[in-house]
Amino acid sequence: AEAALVQAQKMEAVGQLASTMAHDFNNILASLMGYLYLIKRRSSDQQIRDLADKAVKAADRGKRLTARVLTFSRQGEAAVTMLDVHATLAGMQEWLAHSVGPSTQLTMPPEGSQRLVALVDLSQFELALLNLVINARDAMPGGGHIDIQVREETLEAPEGELPAGRYVVVSVKDSGTGMPPEVVARAFDPFFTTKPAGRGTGLGLAQVINFTHQSQGAARIESAPGQGTCVSLWLAAGAPDAAVATLPRFLDSGHDV
């Protein structure tokens, strides 16, 4: 328990520092992007417009990274609601597919799947999914397949950190490189990354694990080198007839991650 406390304090300190920096960087990148758009619009020189395009893309990548840091440190403000998981995922499909790009095939549960309700914070849920599909994409440099599935599980007795009860399990499986055991062991640690500088923050899976803990749940990784990876989110299930929220707030706010 003491180790968990130290870990939590470490995450809080690190989160505050990261959040301040991410804020400043986000503002800098936003104004940079504004100027680049102006250059692109005002220049009649195609070569300059192409270069401005490239610069916008680089700045955009920077914005995505800062967004990941910011949402990681916003963990404290969770607003847990009843969520219809299939409907919410369906609403996110286009956005997730766009985020992973055309070389990655994304499959989701079919329309009209059984209604499953989980107790989660919607924006944290969306971010967890985004973090997972981005990791999956990064593990498949030559392209590949991501499969998102949802199922219901009932634990009759506590299992590890999970209390007995009903869960909605969302799993994200990829056909990528997989991870050796020493990477699996540290994958959830904040700032642990194997990606080159500027590509990874090491905060994606830290957000994912914090998010599942908020939902009285847990996250699990099954992975081996050459075997791909499957990350499962165990989320506390709500009553199937509960009134639910499905609106993807995150998309509506024009937040362009």
Please give the residue ranges that form the binding site for ligand ADP (CB under 6 A).
131, 135-136, 139, 174, 176-177, 179, 183, 187, 192-195, 200-206, 229
Work out how close the CB of 46 gets to ligand ADP at its nearest, in angstroms, rounded to a whole number. 35
Q: Which of 29, 7, 6 is nearest to 192 (CA)?
A: 7
Find tokens 């639910």 and name the residue. 244
Nearest residue to ligand ADP, scored by beta-carbon proximity: 204
Work out how close the CB of 91 gets to ligand ADP at its nearest, in angstroms, rounded to a whole number. 23
CB of 194 closer than 8 Å to CB of 200: yes
Work out how close the CB of 176 gets to ligand ADP at its nearest, in angstroms, rounded to a whole number. 5
Q: Which is nearer to ligand ADP, 111 or 182 (CB)?
A: 182
Which two tokens mark 172? 């994200």
Work out how close the CB of 232 gets to ligand ADP at its nearest, in angstroms, rounded to a whole number. 12
Find the helix packing angle between 2-42 and 46-73, rounded to 10°.
160
Q: How far apart are CA 120 and CA 141, in angstroms?
A: 32
Q: Which is nearer to ligand ADP, 139 or 233 (CB)?
A: 139
Q: Which is nearer to ligand ADP, 203 or 218 (CB)?
A: 203
Q: How far apart are CA 202 and CA 256, in angstroms?
A: 21
Work out how close the CB of 67 gets to ligand ADP at its nearest, in angstroms, rounded to a whole number. 12
Q: Which is nearer to ligand ADP, 144 or 217 (CB)?
A: 144
Work out how close the CB of 136 gets to ligand ADP at its nearest, in angstroms, rounded to a whole number. 5
Q: Which is nearer to ligand ADP, 95 or 192 (CB)?
A: 192
Work out how close the CB of 145 gets to ligand ADP at its nearest, in angstroms, rounded to a whole number. 12
Find tokens 């849920």 and name the residue. 125
Q: How far apart are CA 135 and CA 146, in angstroms?
A: 10
Sheet holding 144-155, edge to edge: 104-107, 144-155, 165-174, 229-236, 218-223
CB of 82 closer than 8 Å to CB of 245: yes
Q: Which is nearer to ligand ADP, 119 or 231 (CB)?
A: 231
Which residue type is seen at 16?
Q
Strands, E assignment, 28-162: 80-84, 104-107, 117-121, 144-155
Q: How far apart are CA 57 and CA 218, in angstroms?
A: 35
Q: How far apart are CA 129 and CA 133, in angstroms?
A: 6
Q: Which is nearer to ligand ADP, 202 or 248 (CB)?
A: 202
